[in-house]
Structure 1
Amino acid sequence: MFIGVSDVSLDTLWRGDTAAQARRVLLVSRVPRTVALVLAGSSMAIAGLIMQMLVRNRYVEPATAGTLQSASLGLLVVSLVAPGLSVFGKMLVAAGFALAGTLLFLRILRAVPLRDILLVPLIGIMLGGVISAVTTFFAYRYDLLQSLLAWTTGDFSGVLRGRYELLWLGFVFALAAYVLADRLTVAGMGRDFTTNLGLNYRRVVNLGFLIVALVSATVVVTVGMIPFLGLVVPNIVSLVIGDNMRRAIPWVAILGSLFVLACDMLGRTIRAPYEIPIGTVVGVTGSALFLYLLLRKRRHAN
């Protein structure tokens, strides 16, 4: 909270001539930004854990399954059709598109014979690329490229008091995953196993993907896309404590928050007083960790 262009420190908060301005910056900008980072980081990491559990693939998350790209397409559509819609309404539309994109991804997986675990995220990345290309085409056609850039690049520099509260709703959806953790864990073991335990497999899976879509939509609407977060954090946690979802969710939330906070501080200090968007920092760091996980998996396989 003491990192930034404005001079906010313990000294300026209590110095007579600067205290009022420093406290205003702290309460209006720095505290909301920190809270937004924690909420977005924890909820997106949990969304990635849910998707990996239900798809039964460690290399899947909203950014590698077309979910975030579909949410951006939904925001573009609502900006063209109903630009005056409320932020909450835009979130619901984006969530609908995110859910549709995720279900399309699952439909493609059922139609493609999978012989390698890496084919699943590859298909998701290709689907996301197609959706992004369509979104970019129409954004260019209707002069909305700047708005599209804001949705596709995670950036917390514009977070102020009164402009981030929707993330609390996303965090509530993430908490719902903790309540449903046992059911989601069972559903991750397959349709037959879930049915034998007396659960409705399709209902549990659809509920899990609905949570992922709602969380993704709230984050994209508020601060933009944050790639690889939901992929790296759950994998790191699973290496330490295993695949029990109820045990993993609190640690995934904590590590996701710390990871996003660290990337944000790095982005604010590496070229100070300028700021690198957190989507760029998380993308570079997350992709490097993703490659490490891939290479580590291949070494253990050999």
Structure 2
Amino acid sequence: MLAVASLFFGVSDVSLSALWSEGADGRTAQILLVSRLPRTLALVLAGAGMAVAGLVMQMLVRNRFVEPSTVGTMEAASFGMLLIALFAPDLPVIGKMLVASLFALAGTALFLQLLRAVPLRSIVMVPLIGILLSGVIGAVTTFFAYRYDLLQSLNAWTTGDFSIVLRGRYELLWISGVMVLATYFVADRLTVAGLGKDFATNLGVNHRRVVALGLVIVSLVSAAVLVSVGVIPFLGLIVPNVVSLVAGDNVRRTLPLVALLGAGLVLACDIVGRIVIYPYELPIGATMGVIGSACFLYLLLRSRARVA
């Protein structure tokens, strides 16, 4: 229902009566095919991909308070994009995505190494370490962007915004859809890996390979979303936690619900952004940031209250 509604919300009037009267070659049909339909598909793919990436990250780290935008993954990918702008600005979009994926993979691996080196006496320490790492990487990226007069470009990359999506500029997000399917095929192994290295090894699962595969999935999804539409904060944090409260922690059972709720939440936030200051738009990074930060604080306080 939200996807159908997304096709008809916007500044330009798109209605069934206009489509019928103007025909397939009319202006309304062109707006629908060139702008509204690609935007809706991008919302669904990005929302499902980032929600599933958050689920994978939480299973690998065994902590419910992490996701790509809070552990340095997106910040590392942004740093990779900045280096591309400095040294290879003419690189094709797929090349930019691959470079951003490598940096995202490196940033996530660095986060995991920090977790192994720091004694974790509280579950809250994990997201705090991730936020600190994100801040350090973000500060380095901002410094170089300021030094080379690329702050505006950096803000454009890191602000989630679907208003720029047109036919021919969103197809990279299909990689997110492929990664969601790949996650479903290895869902059982991710579930076992989420129980711990020793337990997974006793069951015959190669824990290191599963972790590596999970990191690749998270990195590819994060890079594809960043290159296409920017950062969508807290999405991978909220959705898996909500689904976990209802359906438990079995990845194979919860993954379709996570993907569906992630797509629906992104669609809803994007529609709200189109309505609030009509005929202008709020970028989804703003609406999702407000909702996500409030939910993040609620989950942290709820967890600490349960521990107490």
TM-score interval, normalised by the smaller of the two chains? over 0.9
**Contact 1:54-1:184 within 8 A present in 2 as well:** yes
Q: What is the aligned counterpart of 2:147 among 131, 138, 141?
A: 141
Match runs of 1:251-270 below 5 Å: 251-270=257-276
TM-score by length of 2: 0.96
- Letter of the 1:184 partner, please give it: L
Q: Which runs of 5+ in 2 are unaligned?
A: 1-6
Structure 1 residue 17 displacement after superposition = 9.5
Spell out, residue by residue over 1:159-196, the C-alpha distance to the aligned partner (whole angstroms, 9 max, x if none).
00010000001210121111111111111111111111
**Contact 1:44-1:215 within 8 A present in 2 as well:** yes
Correspondence for 1:69: 75
Alpha-carbon distance in structure 1 between the residues aligned to 2:25 and 2:273: 27
Alpha-carbon distance in structure 2 between the residues aligned to 1:285 and 1:254: 18
Structure 1 residue 294 displacement after superposition = 2.0
TM-score by length of 1: 0.97
Q: 16-25 or 230-239, which moves further after superposition?
A: 16-25
Q: What is the aligned counterpart of 1:2 among 5, 8, 14?
A: 8
Q: What is the aligned counterpart of 1:13 among 19, 30, 37?
A: 19
- Letter of the 1:38 partner, please give it: V
Match runs of 1:239-250 below 5 Å: 239-250=245-256
- Letter of the 1:47 partner, please give it: A
**Contact 1:12-1:18 within 8 A present in 2 as well:** no
Correspondence for 2:4: none
Match runs of 1:1-302 below 5 Å: 1-16=7-22, 20-302=26-308
CA RMSD of aligned residues (A): 1.3
Alpha-carbon distance in structure 2 between the residues aligned to 1:297 and 1:191: 24
Summarize the Cα distance change of 1:82–1:19 in structure 2 as closer, same or farther, 3 Å threshold: closer
Q: 148-157 or 230-239, which moves further after superposition?
A: 148-157
**Contact 2:162-2:283 within 8 A present in 1 as well:** yes
Q: Percent identity?
A: 68
**Contact 1:67-1:216 within 8 A present in 2 as well:** yes
**Contact 1:228-1:286 within 8 A present in 2 as well:** yes
Q: 6-15 or 248-257, which moves further after superposition?
A: 6-15
Alpha-carbon distance in structure 1 between the residues aligned to 2:169 and 2:162: 11
- Letter of the 1:173 partner, please give it: M
Alpha-carbon distance in structure 1 between the residues aligned to 2:24 and 2:228: 31
- Letter of the 2:230 partner, please give it: G
